Chains A and B, each alone.
Chain A
């Protein structure tokens, strides 16, 4: 479980995150949704320690991230996996080398053990046989899957995904969602996903936190969304003209 407690973050005069407290549950896909500029990415980067909050606490199963000693912090970081929006694969390394990188850097496993783990991760994301390809030789969807494989290679307890579906077609996006959800359930990890893809929300949104202007405006599950009477949330969820048209044709109005 990850608890973000009273987080505040400003850049210059502009306050981006305004006293946000959120709990992310273990074994669940916790989605953070919100409009562009609502503070989702800043929140995620604070959770993984890439941006330091002005005040507030981040507790990983009770351990305060910013109070840890160097050694403890490194141990915690090895239990964290992250999928970046642009996959962030190292261009000069092959798919296999990318996935192997954390193993080479932090473990003393034998070559055979590393090979076995890399091949397992590749198989888990459905990319067996692509070991020797470079990131530039695979599609955007495959890059995301390699990113997921790299994120889970050290068997993390916490998985962070920043816009995992951005730039992907709906079918590939669904595949990525299912993959992340499956991995979360299998390994009982705490997964936090930043997204504004409504399909993801409806598919895998076990807990959904809606950020608006740096404030946690709403929180619930995917089924709660349809029952909620939160205007801003509805404006966000049903903003698509296509969905509006479908609702009109079905003679329905958003709840």
Chain B
């Protein structure tokens, strides 16, 4: 059983690498690819902005409220809340939670779109015409995600800090000066790089894994549903594993 799983993993991994390699070719028509890239950027960015913003507000608010709870009865000053909200959001919560949510939204959408195209023979039709489908259908999605998702993560981090402010200042736990003092304390620009590296790596994982799952769909609607679920599950696991590895690499 273990041997079978290993074989299946290696087969999937090999096919994934070949798919990405096949996509890395010079497009025959830059204009068509450019249009597709812009469409994907719009879909990912515009379609996800609201949910990312909503989640980010609560990430910041919950972090602030829970840290206030932990500070209760200790000698640590309350302005530390601003510092904790800022750093936990930038280093971990904004990139990771945003990308986990986007794996569910954008990733499953990509897997379903490509899977549907496979089932309706759209991909075959393009192949017969001579279109390099990994390049035309998958690369614009990956590149669009690599551009747009880090931007969404930056917005998410910013909104989270506002969420923390709303919960701690508007909630009456401290005043604005205290919160901003925390926000300005012990700031390391290096942490922003960590956030951007994480969001770029996570973007690549969630789009490439989802596209892989959708591109190779076989069978009917049940298989399409499975591919969509696998896209989210596998992306999430890989995001968490790479989160750990990046944290290890950047902090030790």
Interface readout for B116-147 with A: 1 if CB under 8 Å, 0 if not? 00001110110111110000000000000000
Judged by a CB distance under 8 angstroms, whether B28 is at the interface is: yes
Of B32, B128, B130, the contact of A104 (CB 8 Å cutoff): B32
Interface readout for A40-84 with B: 1 if CB under 8 Å, 0 if not? 000001001110000000000000000000000110011010101
Q: Which of B31, B120, B124, B125 has the most CB of A within 10 A?
A: B125
Interface readout for B67-105 with A: 1 if CB under 8 Å, 0 if not? 000000000000000000000000000000000000000
Query: Within the complex, what minimum Cβ distance (angstroms) separates B159 from chain A?
Result: 31
Contact, CB under 8 Å: B124 / A84: yes
Q: Which of A78, A105, A106 has the most CB of B within 10 A?
A: A105
Judged by a CB distance under 8 angstroms, whether B177 is at the interface is: no
Q: Which A residues from 70 to 108 make CB contacts under 8 A with B?
A: 73-74, 77-78, 80, 82, 84-86, 88, 90-91, 101-102, 104-106
- Chain A residues whose C-beta falls within 8 Å of the C-beta of B129 in the assembled complex: 77-78, 80, 101-102, 105-106
- From DSSP, what is the main secondary structure of chain A's interface residues? mixed
- From DSSP, what is the main secondary structure of chain B's interface residues? helix
Contact, CB under 8 Å: B28 / A88: no
Extra contacts besides A82-B125, A90-B122, A160-B128 (7): CB < 8 Å: A45-B124, A50-B124, A50-B127, A78-B129, A88-B125, A105-B28, A106-B28
Spell out A's residues near B (CB within 8 Å).
45, 48-50, 73-74, 77-78, 80, 82, 84-86, 88, 90-91, 101-102, 104-106, 160
Spell out B's residues near A (CB within 8 Å).
28-29, 31-32, 120-122, 124-125, 127-131
